[in-house]
Chain A
Amino acid sequence: MIVWIILVPLIGALINGLVFATGFYKKVLGGDEHTEKSIVNIVGCGVVLISALISTYLFVHLLSLEPENRQMIQMLFEWIPSGEFTVSFELLFDTLSCVMALIVTWIGFFIHVYSIGYMHHDESYAKYFTYLNIFIFFMLILVLGDSFPLMFVGWEGVGLASYLLIGFWYGDPEKAYAGRKAFIVNRIGDFGFILGIFLIFFVFGSVNYQDVFGKALDPAFMSAVPAAVMTAIALLLFVGAVGKSAQIPLYVWLPDAMAGPTPVSALIHAATMVTAGVYMIARCNAIYSQSHTAQVIIVTIAALTAFFAASIALTQNDIKKVLAYSTISQLGYMFMGIGIGAYTAGLFHLVTHAFFKALLFLGSGSVIHALSGEQDIRNMGGLRRLIPVTAITFLVGTLAISGVPFLSGFFSKDNILGAVYEGGYTIQWLIGLITAVLTALYMGRLYLLTFEGKSSVSASVKDQIHESPYTMTIPLIILAVLSIFGGYMGVPEFMGELVGIHGTNLFDQFVSSSILLEPVETVVHHLLHLSHVTLILFSIAAAVIGIAIAFYLYYMRPLLPGKIAEGKNIEPVYKGSLNKWYVDELYDYIIVQPFTYLSNLASYFDLKYIDGSVNGVAGVVKEMALTLRAAQTGVLRGYATLMALGAIAILVFLIVWQSF
């Protein structure tokens, strides 16, 4: 049963790809454009819907099981039967993968529906849906696989799908380079991932989750494994997560990935693919909970990433770039959560983030669509009355991500910050808090500049502004509803206690079935002794402060931000932030250019020497042939002479030989 979740999108991809994307339907079967689009829609969205329904059905089935037994395994076939190293194509549906599968399929479905409207005028319509289905297929393999190689298959597959979709409009070289950059940076992370898998096999003798985690939980086995090795495994796998989930230093591909169509950004770079790293660490909780060093490193990097990305998002003028950096920042939050061992907290934020970030991206896509392609927020403004549905849903998303109380983001973000504080990581908690302020600030800025205030829209575009079609607005509304109410499934325990309700954190209860090992409780020294309530108040304050500043700067005194940016001390900071702190330029200087130089060198060497020697061999043969050709004179008498001389020679030889 589980296998159908992944097979159905694959079938959809094959149908869309082979029949429609190749032009077979149009050219050979003589179909018309309209019918083709209809069929592609139904197939493309339908298969994802089917996957979603199957996942939901299995989710309900899981609920009917005892919490300890909430897992289903389906083995399909022996994939690599190689002596000691056997890998089966086995699918695992436990609570963790259930949550991921639900997110991927349902949000994927909404985005597919949205794409119908968004990509309506695109000429490579069928190809787009094919790639989307391929992505869903691989993402599902990633989350449903029961072994590391299988996860890696999904890992690479979504990297491929991401590359294809980012560079979808490859006619523009910039967009193609963006796709290439994403793939290459991902690859660097994958290198660490593979080394991690090798080490796992070396230590545990297997790459199957059941075997590896079973041994990891066994104290007798683990006593023979040095702590440094576990840390090494954890960090190597984390390198992969850094690449895929865009943390420092491998985040640089995500902002460039905005070159792809907006629904792609929503699906892949907000809700699903970039969360693969989070899923991976949550899945390997048995390993991470045993390495305190790795945890410290993860939390620190995550906190820095969150702050760093937020600092860039403050000044960006492209609506999608702001959201991209926001994604990186929020991913930092997620890693903070799972880094310290609060796996369910991190995963909960993953879920809520999927809701409101997808919402925000789709909303921005709606704005871009309404403005006929305009993406610079300096050329927007005053759109609220013109595209009300988009505006309202976008506002909901903004509030949710800022952590406004009682929306989903509030619960999840606070969960994380609370857990970070409890774990004793006060510095990181502080960074997270400041980042929360910044988050509210830049998101408020984004909303206000786009929808409120005086309109800076160019005149030609203004007449064309229209609300998006139903296929685009309905997903927005659904996601907005989820952003508002989705948080209530994961209300932190202590909040529930405050109002006298026990067991409010349903999410945690559900997912913890898959969390095999909680981190060891270490004695923590809190720098400040704050209670839970105080922490909540701090979070709320952060959100309020951020929104207030944004409101002041961008609504009440719209000209003020410009003046601040020009201030003597502020200007270099502003410029730095606007230019992403010149990280791309740094990478280019240190890494890209030397590599390009080396590549050119290798290319030259290859062409001149290796090709040359191969050609040289051919040349030698040719020369020899030309020389030997001289023997073919065509003169019969010459041939006869040679034959006679040869016969005489043989005769002589025989006679001489006989006489000895």
Chain B
Amino acid sequence: MTISLSQIYFITRSNYLLFPLFSGGFKRLETVIFYVFAALCVAGALLVITHKNPVSSALSLVLTLFSTAVLFVLLQAHFVAVIQVLVYAGAIMVLFLFTVMFLNLTPEALKFDSRNMAFKGSLLLAVLLFVGYFAARGFQETFSHTLAIPSVSENFGTTEGVGKLLFTDYLLPFELTSILIVAAIIGVVAIAKRRES
């Protein structure tokens, strides 16, 4: 559901806070949203790898996943965004938290993980800068003619669109994933079963 131009006009006109956001049209809004949630992604990622307590790490991961879902919306992949929130952030992370709490870890049990951040942190930074720079350079050259986000088809990213593909062209992989899940279930039960010793 999109907001009509007139509604935006009125909101911006009457709200000085939101004025900068909407004065350039949607473009500016998109940029701001992007940078905010991108920053949240990165922040969340950094928090995941720095926390000692797995619960904190898990929650940070949820933050990252949620921000990524927003970014998906920005890319007009609505269906996928919802799936991400429902399955990834909703089911997988819950499973993680379940397990963490099931393990009932005391601070003693977490002592072994010395994080040694200073040296490794700088290393990471260097690698990040390096990769980032080259990634940007590389993709710039490849996609320099698509500086603006190109227009997409009507059905792009909608449930209907994805669903249609999923059940026609990609039916086989779809069915195979269900088998994969069954296998995973059996595997999990087999591994984690409490053995009578």
Interface 1/0s, chain A 630-660, versus B by CB < 8 A?
0000000000000000001001000100000
Contact A648 B138, beta carbon cutoff 8 Å: no
Asked whether B127 is an interface residue with its Cβ less than 8 Å from the other chain, the reply is yes
A382 to B134, CA, bound (A): 119
A651 to B127, CA, bound (A): 12
| Residues of chain B lying within 8 A (CB to CB) of residue A651 | 131, 134
Which 5 interchain pairs have the tightest Cβ spacing?
A655-B134, A655-B138, A648-B127, A651-B134, A651-B131
Q: How far is the CB of A495 from chain B (nearest CB, A)?
A: 111
A648 to B138, CA, bound (A): 15
Q: How far is the CB of B84 from chain A (nearest CB, A)?
A: 26
Q: How far is the CB of A641 from chain B (nearest CB, A)?
A: 11
From 126 to 153 in chain B, residues with beta carbon under 8 angstroms from any chain A beta carbon are 127, 131, 134, 138
Q: Could you show 5 A-B contacts with beta carbons less than 8 Å apart?
A: A648-B127, A651-B131, A651-B134, A655-B134, A655-B138
Closest to A655 in B: B134
A651 to B131, CA, bound (A): 9
Chain A interface: which size bin?
A: under 10
A655 to B131, CA, bound (A): 11
| Residues of chain B lying within 8 A (CB to CB) of residue A648 | 127
- Which residue of B127, B131, B138 has the most chain A CB atoms within 10 A of its CB atom? B138
Closest to A644 in B: B127
- Which residue of B127, B131, B134 has the most chain A CB atoms within 10 A of its CB atom? B134
Interface 1/0s, chain B 153-174, versus A by CB < 8 A?
0000000000000000000000
A648 to B134, CA, bound (A): 12
Interface 1/0s, chain B 106-138, versus A by CB < 8 A?
000000000000000000000100010010001
A373 to B127, CA, bound (A): 99
A655 to B137, CA, bound (A): 10
| Residues of chain B lying within 8 A (CB to CB) of residue A655 | 134, 138
A residues whose Cβ falls under 8 Å from a Cβ of B: 648, 651, 655
Q: How far is the CB of B148 from chain A (nearest CB, A)?
A: 26
B residues whose Cβ falls under 8 Å from a Cβ of A: 127, 131, 134, 138
A655 to B133, CA, bound (A): 12
Q: How far is the CB of B126 from chain A (nearest CB, A)?
A: 11
A648 to B123, CA, bound (A): 13
Q: How far is the CB of B140 from chain A (nearest CB, A)?
A: 13
Closest to B127 in A: A648
Q: How far is the CB of B86 from chain A (nearest CB, A)?
A: 30
Closest to A648 in B: B127
Closest to A659 in B: B137
| Residues of chain A lying within 8 A (CB to CB) of residue B134 | 651, 655
A648 to B127, CA, bound (A): 9
Q: How far is the CB of B139 from chain A (nearest CB, A)?
A: 12
A655 to B135, CA, bound (A): 10
A651 to B138, CA, bound (A): 12
Closest to B141 in A: A658
| Residues of chain A lying within 8 A (CB to CB) of residue B131 | 651
Q: How far is the CB of A485 from chain B (nearest CB, A)?
A: 102
A184 to B134, CA, bound (A): 82
Q: How far is the CB of A658 from chain B (nearest CB, A)?
A: 8
A651 to B132, CA, bound (A): 12
Closest to A658 in B: B138
A655 to B134, CA, bound (A): 8
Q: How far is the CB of B75 from chain A (nearest CB, A)?
A: 25
A655 to B139, CA, bound (A): 12
Closest to B134 in A: A655
A451 to B16, CA, bound (A): 151
A179 to B110, CA, bound (A): 84
Q: How far is the CB of A82 from chain B (nearest CB, A)?
A: 66
A648 to B131, CA, bound (A): 9
A484 to B140, CA, bound (A): 122
| Residues of chain A lying within 8 A (CB to CB) of residue B138 | 655
Q: How far is the CB of A264 from chain B (nearest CB, A)?
A: 77
A647 to B134, CA, bound (A): 14
A648 to B128, CA, bound (A): 11
Q: How far is the CB of A651 from chain B (nearest CB, A)?
A: 8
A651 to B134, CA, bound (A): 10
Q: How far is the CB of B117 from chain A (nearest CB, A)?
A: 16
A648 to B129, CA, bound (A): 13
| Residues of chain A lying within 8 A (CB to CB) of residue B127 | 648
Q: How far is the CB of B65 from chain A (nearest CB, A)?
A: 22
A429 to B127, CA, bound (A): 110
Q: How far is the CB of B124 from chain A (nearest CB, A)?
A: 11
Q: How far is the CB of A656 from chain B (nearest CB, A)?
A: 10
Q: How far is the CB of B134 from chain A (nearest CB, A)?
A: 6
A262 to B183, CA, bound (A): 85
Q: How far is the CB of A291 from chain B (nearest CB, A)?
A: 94
Q: How far is the CB of A325 from chain B (nearest CB, A)?
A: 90
Q: How far is the CB of A200 from chain B (nearest CB, A)?
A: 82
A655 to B141, CA, bound (A): 12
Q: How far is the CB of A100 from chain B (nearest CB, A)?
A: 86
Q: How far is the CB of A378 from chain B (nearest CB, A)?
A: 90
A295 to B34, CA, bound (A): 117
A474 to B102, CA, bound (A): 106
Q: How far is the CB of B119 from chain A (nearest CB, A)?
A: 14
Q: How far is the CB of A178 from chain B (nearest CB, A)?
A: 74
Q: How far is the CB of A644 from chain B (nearest CB, A)?
A: 9
A281 to B59, CA, bound (A): 108
A158 to B127, CA, bound (A): 85
Q: How far is the CB of A218 from chain B (nearest CB, A)?
A: 91
A119 to B147, CA, bound (A): 111
A651 to B135, CA, bound (A): 10
Q: How far is the CB of A434 from chain B (nearest CB, A)?
A: 105
A582 to B134, CA, bound (A): 97
Q: How far is the CB of B51 from chain A (nearest CB, A)?
A: 18
A268 to B147, CA, bound (A): 107
Q: How far is the CB of B87 from chain A (nearest CB, A)?
A: 26
Closest to B137 in A: A655
Q: How far is the CB of A147 from chain B (nearest CB, A)?
A: 77
A179 to B138, CA, bound (A): 88
Q: How far is the CB of A176 from chain B (nearest CB, A)?
A: 67
Closest to B138 in A: A655
A655 to B136, CA, bound (A): 12
Q: How far is the CB of B85 from chain A (nearest CB, A)?
A: 29
Q: How far is the CB of B71 from chain A (nearest CB, A)?
A: 24
A286 to B128, CA, bound (A): 100
